[in-house]
Amino acid sequence: MDFDPSANRVVGTARIPGGAAPKKAPVPVKIIVAGGFGVGKTTTVGAISEISPLTTEAEMTSESVGIDNPGQATMKTTTTIAMDFGVLTIDQTLKLYIFGTPGQTRFAFMWDDLVKGALGALVVVDTNRIDDCYPAVDYFERAGLPFVVGVNTFNGQMGYSLDEVRWALAVREDVPIISYDARFRGSVRDALLVVLDQALDKAIRMKS
Amino acid sequence: MSYPDPDEPVAPARPGVRPFLQSGPKHSIGGYTPTGEQPPVEPTQTNTLRPFVITAGRTDGGDPDIGMETQVTMVPGAPPSRLSPETRAIVSLLEESPTSIAEISARLRLHLGVTQILIGDLRAAGQVDVQVLENDTPDPETIMRVIRGLRSIS
């Protein structure tokens, strides 16, 4: 059975909107929010996104089933790679995507796709489990992606000072290490602005 | 500067230094290096309709143009064609507005890899357009616009 091929389909008297809607897609830009399970990635994404964070599921290697270690902080378990992301419309022609991605080594196969064209990354750190962020830091360093280490202060508490975190991570001096609170929009915005500052530096260096 | 009580069971030991020194390129992140050579691992999920059923057995996305934030738009006046329930759902989602791969995947609860394959099909069939950006790396002007946009939110 064939349908009327007209682009402006008419159902009853109501015209299906869309024919006249602006069909030009905005230019997407993205920032990666990486970190271990339960460090506050989704909270971070949700705080800045104009929509409730959406979840997309990607494939997971079978070897990783059952070895998630969310630490003592949560009872979180997962059987697929759920990636949360949010959207922020900058203007009609520019849309910022914020992707939260698991920072574990075994998910590294998907990071190449993720960082392609990314502006930069925010590596979220829980001072109770600093080790969780090592693979992400290693990866972003090697990939040459501008990144910022953001220590999520949760309830205003940090187990270690930023200097101690820097010592543990042994990142280059020009990698900013900041503290922020993933629950507050202004705090997340400021953290992302630091990421963008790094991204801008790199973009200007690349251009000249 | 105050340290947590080391005898407290929940208090972690002082974090060790990131073992970057002993990790040459060969054994970084489990042998993975950001070269893009490693093929993605394919889906194994058993609790719902298995992804390869929807994609007619294909597990290879195949289209390097299609990333997660890639914008997909309807082709106005595309000829009608027989669509599977999944592709029909994609098309009706796109009728509202251009949408990214990740949003399509999330809203229709399709695996990301499946979504990429189906969009590739729809594109080949002339039903949708996939936005291809000329330059992969963001330019300073674009970043400045994002910065200004972010600063303006409260």
> Does residue A87 lie in a domain region?
yes
> Does residue A2 lie in a domain region?
no
- What per-residue string of b and e applies to A104-142 under the rule 16 or more CB within 10 Å gives b? bbbbbbbbbbbbbbbbbbbbbbbbbbbebbbbbbbbbbb
- Number of domains observed in the structure of chain B: 1
> Does residue A44 lie in a domain region?
yes
> Does residue A134 lie in a domain region?
yes
Whether B103 and A87 lie within 8 Å, measured CB to CB:
yes
Tell me if A144 sits within 8 A of A128, measured CB to CB.
Answer: no
Domain that holds residue B75: 65-130
> Does residue B8 lie in a domain region?
no
> Does residue B80 lie in a domain region?
yes
B56-99: pLDDT as tens digits: 767 665 566 778 899 999 988 877 778 888 899 999 999 889 99
> Does residue A20 lie in a domain region?
no
Picking from A100, A104, A169, A172, the residue whose alpha carbon sits closest to that of residue A135 is: A104
pLDDT at B80: 77
Instruction: Using CB atoms, pick whichever of B15, B20, B145 lies closest to residue A138.
Output: B20
> Does residue B52 lie in a domain region?
no
Tell me if A88 sits within 8 A of A45, measured CB to CB.
Answer: no
> Does residue B58 lie in a domain region?
no
Give me the helices (H) in A6-151, please: 41-48, 111-115, 134-143
What would the mean pLDDT of B20-36 be, rounded to a whole number?
Answer: 48
- pTM comes to 0.74
pLDDT along chain A (208 residues), means of 10: 50 50 79 90 94 80 43 46 89 93 70 86 92 90 94 81 92 94 95 97 90
> Does residue B143 lie in a domain region?
no
> Does residue B97 lie in a domain region?
yes
CATH number at residue A56: 3.40.50.300
Contacts of A80 in chain B (CB under 8 A): 45
Choice among A18-22, B51-55, B118-122 with the minimum mean pLDDT: A18-22
Task: Note which residues in 166-195 of chain A have CB less than 8 A from chain B.
Answer: 167-170, 185-186, 189, 192-193
Under DSSP, is residue A122 helix (H, G, I), strand (E, B) or coil? strand
- Number of domains observed in the structure of chain A: 1
A113-169: pLDDT as tens digits: 788 889 999 999 998 888 888 989 999 999 999 999 999 997 777 778 999 999 999
What mean pLDDT is reported for chain A?
A: 80
Query: Nearest-CA residue of chain A relative to B103?
Result: A54
ipTM over 0.90: no
Is the CB of residue A3 less than 8 Å away from at least one CB of chain B?
yes
Domain that holds residue A33: 27-207
